[in-house]
Amino acid sequence: MSKWISITLANLYDAKVSALVTACDTAALAAGQTSRSAGIIQGVVDDIRRKIASCRRNQLDANPAALPTGLKNLAADLIIAKLKTAIEQDLTEDERRQLTVHERNLNRIAEGLDVVEQPDNPLPSFNEMQSSVGVTYQAECRKATREKMDGI
């Protein structure tokens, strides 16, 4: 089993009533507008991946839609909150409390206090990318002095 997974509509159906997702994808759409859920899911995934990448000890999976399996429930809760907001439905007090806990957990990951599962297919780290580039040209430092600027 992979250590990182993509969050799907099936994950959301397991986490909450499927009518919420359906309502978000069908209610009050503008003419020609596609369903909201795909964009909301990817937006939350992007936010979580940014928090993960904030800690140099963590690596991201090459798949931009993948998250650590240990964060699946956290991601589902954040996505559901965004879906409810999109259709102007209020969050319950329990949902608000849970979002506060999730935000605190994501901040712990970003600060390096918690480390997530490392991916099977990681992106190259920043240090790996830097060492492979190399220096191709190095100019001397140019300084403006009275002698160099004389006559200008």
Q: What is the dihedral of CA 90, 94, 100, 105, to 10 degrees?
A: -130
pTM of the model: 0.75
Q: Which domain holds residue 143?
A: 4-149
Domains: count for the chain: 1
* Res 37: pLDDT: 83
Give Cα separations from 10 to 30, 72, 76, 104 (angstroms).
Answer: 25, 12, 10, 26
pLDDT for 142: 59
Residue-by-residue DSSP string for 62-83: SSTTEEEGGGHHHHHHHHHHHH
Give the angle 122-124-58 at the CA atoms, nearest 5°.
60
Enumerate residue ranges in the chain where pLDDT < 70: 1, 17, 28-29, 125-146, 148-152
Kindly report the backbone phi and psi dihedral angles of residue 44, in degrees, each rounded to the nearest multiple of 5, phi listed first.
-70, -40
In this structure, which amino acid lies at residue 81? Answer: A
